[in-house]
A and B are shown apart, each in its own frame.
Chain A
Amino acid sequence: MNMPLIKSENIRVSPIATARVLPIGRPKPPPLTDRLSVIGSSIAARIIPPAVVLAVGLVIWELLCRKSGATLPPPSVVLRDSWELIVDPFFDRGGIDKGLFWHLSASLQRVAVGYALASMTGIALGTLVGQSVWAMRGLDPIFQILRTVPPLAWLPLSLAAFRDGQPSAIFVIFITAIWPIIINTAVGIRNIPQDYRNVGAVLRLNHLEFFWKIMIPAAAPYIFTGLRIGIGLSWLAIVAAEMLIGGVGIGFFIWDAWNSSHISEIILALIYVGLIGFLLDRIVAAIAGFVTRGTAAN
């Protein structure tokens, strides 16, 4: 502690030291071709490995299912059988004889309604449980039990209540997606640092201002984790629910194809289901990334 004091005395006695400012050049941006090749190689690094795996998988599948007596069609047959469905997803011959686009969009609409309801209710209930000790004591044990009920087990009950397939399917989506949203929101609200609460208190924010300006942004990373799990579960549940309720929808399309022994159509539908589930997850993740920018890195 004393050393710096003695040193500073010395400096004041000695003649003024001169210092030369070294010029620092602005770093040159790398040439365009270099940057392009960097971008190109990073894209290649992402695309090539899954492409290779996919190709190898298809070849093995082809070899295994080509033999006579194979129960499943090889990829070449799948492609030939379902070519009509692939090239024209928009046909509509009435009833349930529609292109895949219509089936998928019907499923997506059910998911959209059920998931939107689940998000709003889930965030509201999660906030309540996270904020109030008594609400948590009262509701949390019930939530913990209800969330373990498999989605499809709700379907007969909701059919009994609504007496119609459409609202029942939406209810199944709702009840499937809501638990992770409630639980993650509650954890997020409970984990708001005391400092932020203090800031709100010193500024005398009212309840509404505190909710919008501090609670929601602070809990946003948790809420979005819940929303992401929720969208994945909704998409899982819709296919199963639609198999049972019938009508237009990708779930019933698959069930219908099985009943007509169109195995190739099932495989095509599964690929679409997978791709859309992936897209839904990415969309929610992208929204999360945009909304919570800055929050995660404190």
Chain B
Amino acid sequence: MTAYLKIDHLDKSFGEGAQATDVLRDISLGIEKGEYVSIIGHSGCGKSTLLNVVAGLTPATRGGVILDNREVNDPGPDRAVVFQNHSLLPWLTVYENVRLAVDKVFAGVKSRAERHAWTMHNLDLVQMGHAKDKRPAEISGGMKQRVGIARALAMEPKVLLLDEPFGALDALTRAHLQDSVMVLHQKLANTVLMITHDVDEAVLLSDRIVMMTNGPAARIGEVLDIPLPRPRKRLELAANQTYLKCRQRVLEFLYERHRYIEAA
């Protein structure tokens, strides 16, 4: 039995010949269905590149990605991405942004009315149904990211790829959105691969944390299981021994063993 999403001996280098820079070296990782896995590492370690390879937006140099027994070569809606800067199309309303994805993915499968209902259902899931006729420029950063999540969920992806989804948000909005994502994950049991550089976020949300060494040629340094029961409550965890231990492990990895070396 192989994993649902399998990253198999993946190498990625940019450039060719003598000028090639190795970004990722020999990354192997298996993710089970319904699992929430975070990838954490210092900036520049290639974690975003890894996500782009899984998304199919960047080709792998060697090795590959297998999702549900099929090799991944190009981007597709079965691996919906929530981009760091929301990437909503500014000329479309909130509804139209989600509807564009729904229309494309469910063309010929769902009727017009069903696609409308499915769009609204996903907007309601992230509590954005009320703003469906607003344009992205008219809503806050947190709301934009909610719509980005709704758009990704609406594609009914096999795996949801989150690229530092909360990175551009203020602390309060971020906490609020993290709670929403936890609730959604609980409810829909999506398989999630999340990139982050926030230790608390990783421990709070994940079933497993994959820690990456510094680049160039970043590898997986350590994989940590988070044995905390779900549903998790932010406030209760603040004093939870397991939580604190996990947090400690990740911090030690990032700040002692693989300290970030400032480039120039």
Chain A interface (Cβ < 8 Å from any Cβ of B): 5, 8, 195-196, 198-199, 201-205, 209, 213-214, 217-218, 220, 292-295, 297-298
Having A204-B104, A205-B104, A294-B91, one finds 10 other A-B pairs with CB under 8 Å, namely: A195-B85, A198-B55, A198-B83, A198-B87, A199-B83, A203-B101, A294-B136, A295-B90, A295-B91, A298-B136
Q: How far apart are B56's CB and chain A's nearest CB, in angstroms?
A: 8
> A294-B137, A295-B91, A297-B137 in contact; A202/B105 too (CB < 8 A)?
no
> A202-B81, A298-B136 in contact; A196/B89 too (CB < 8 A)?
yes
Bound: A294/B81 CA distance, A: 23
Contact between B91 and A202, CB atoms less than 8 A apart: no
Contact between A202 and B238, CB atoms less than 8 A apart: no
**Residues from 76 to 128 in B contacting A, C-beta threshold 8 Å:** 76-77, 79-81, 83, 85, 87, 89-91, 100-101, 104-105
Residue of B nearest to A294 (CB): B135
Bound: A8/B91 CA distance, A: 42
B235 within 8 A of A: yes
Bound: A297/B144 CA distance, A: 14
**Size of the chain B interface, CB-CB below 8 angstroms:** 26
| 13 CB-based A-B contacts, threshold 8 Å | A198-B55, A198-B57, A198-B75, A198-B81, A201-B57, A202-B77, A202-B155, A203-B100, A203-B104, A204-B77, A217-B91, A218-B91, A220-B91
Contact between B104 and A5, CB atoms less than 8 A apart: no
Contacts of B75 in A (CB 8 A): 198, 201-202, 204
> A8-B238, A198-B83, A294-B90 in contact; A204/B135 too (CB < 8 A)?
no
Per a CB cutoff under 8 Å, which of B74, B80, B87 touches A195? B87
Count of inter-chain pairs, beta carbons less than 8 A: 64
Contacts of B137 in A (CB 8 A): 294, 297-298
Contacts of B57 in A (CB 8 A): 198, 201-202
Bound: A294/B80 CA distance, A: 25
Contacts of A292 in B (CB 8 A): 91
Contact between B87 and A204, CB atoms less than 8 A apart: no
Q: Shortest 10 CB-CB distances between A and B: which pairs?
A: A195-B87, A201-B75, A217-B91, A297-B137, A294-B135, A295-B91, A203-B104, A202-B75, A298-B90, A294-B91
Q: How far apart are A206's CB and chain B's nearest CB, in angstroms?
A: 10
Bound: A92/B235 CA distance, A: 87
Residue of A nearest to B235 (CB): A8
Bound: A295/B80 CA distance, A: 24
Residue of A nearest to B152 (CB): A202
Bound: A172/B235 CA distance, A: 73
Residue of B nearest to A193 (CB): B87
**Residues from 3 to 42 in B contacting A, C-beta threshold 8 Å:** none
Bound: A220/B92 CA distance, A: 13
Q: Contact string, B144-163, partner A, CB cutoff 8 A, digits 1/0?
A: 00000000000100000000
> A202-B76, A203-B77, A217-B91 in contact; A195/B238 too (CB < 8 A)?
no
Q: How far apart are A262's CB and chain B's nearest CB, in angstroms?
A: 51
Q: How far apart are B235's CB and chain A's nearest CB, in angstroms?
A: 7
Contacts of B77 in A (CB 8 A): 202-204
Bound: A295/B75 CA distance, A: 25
Contacts of B79 in A (CB 8 A): 202
Bound: A203/B152 CA distance, A: 10
